[in-house]
Amino acid sequence: MTAKLVIGNKNYSTWSLRAWFLLAEAGIDFEEERIALDTQGCAARIAQYSPAGRVPVLILDGQAIWDTMAIAETVVERWPEKKLWPSDPKARAHARSICAEMHAGFSVLREAMPMNCRAMGRRVPLPDALAADIDRIFEIWSDCQRRYKSAGDWLCGNFSVADAMYAPVVLRFRTYGINLPQSATAYPKRLLQSEALQDWLAAAESETEVIEREETGQ
């Protein structure tokens, strides 16, 4: 089957990264169409694929699937051999829970620390609400390391949907120089070793578009 993934800017679009990384790291062949966001005509181009008017959009067998979690569940169903959820029911339920938490939560972190792959060494104030979001992510990573480290270095041992959901947070912490506790260092290190993620970062570096509202920090 032929898959096509419509994404936004690699430098800024966290949800695009999640869908793209899931496919790329899993070794699934797909065609990529990048639409530069906040440019003339971009809304019309996206609307050709997505009734929601947002990226990413997966086109599979002529059908559009939008929203990253819907894309992830569809990919899991279509490529079961990739084993993108843990096989153990309890581990699978836990993985789904932390994915749902990322999908619906961490609004303070998203607002205060927009993803910007090209920017390094930026700093932002860390008010209590932002620190709480960061600490919760550390807690998730540390807990996953305790639960699954014997199976591998990804969040749930083997690569899964959970890694796609948390990849942009690793890049955010990298951009803003967030110090990680020792218990939460193994996962970001593993993710940054991914050849697929390094390909994404190289492409982000080569982009020339600038979205001013995403250019924040000191």
At the second CATH level, the architecture of 3-82 is 3-Layer(aba) Sandwich (3.40)
Residues of the chain with CATH 3.40.30.10: 3-82
Q: Give which of 2, 13, 6, 19 is closest to 46, Cα–Cα.
A: 6
E strand intervals along the chain: 3-7, 31-34, 57-60, 63-66
CATH top-level class of 89-202: mainly alpha
Residues of the chain with CATH 1.20.1050.10: 89-202
pTM (2 d.p.): 0.94
Provide the residue-wise pLDDT of the chain in tens; the chain has 218 residues. Answer: 689 999 999 999 999 999 999 999 999 999 999 998 878 888 999 999 998 999 999 999 999 999 999 999 999 999 999 999 999 999 999 999 999 999 999 999 999 999 999 988 889 999 999 999 999 999 999 999 999 999 999 999 999 999 999 999 999 999 999 999 998 999 999 999 999 999 999 999 998 867 666 665 44
Calculate helix-pair angle for 195-206, 14-26, nearest 10 degrees.
140
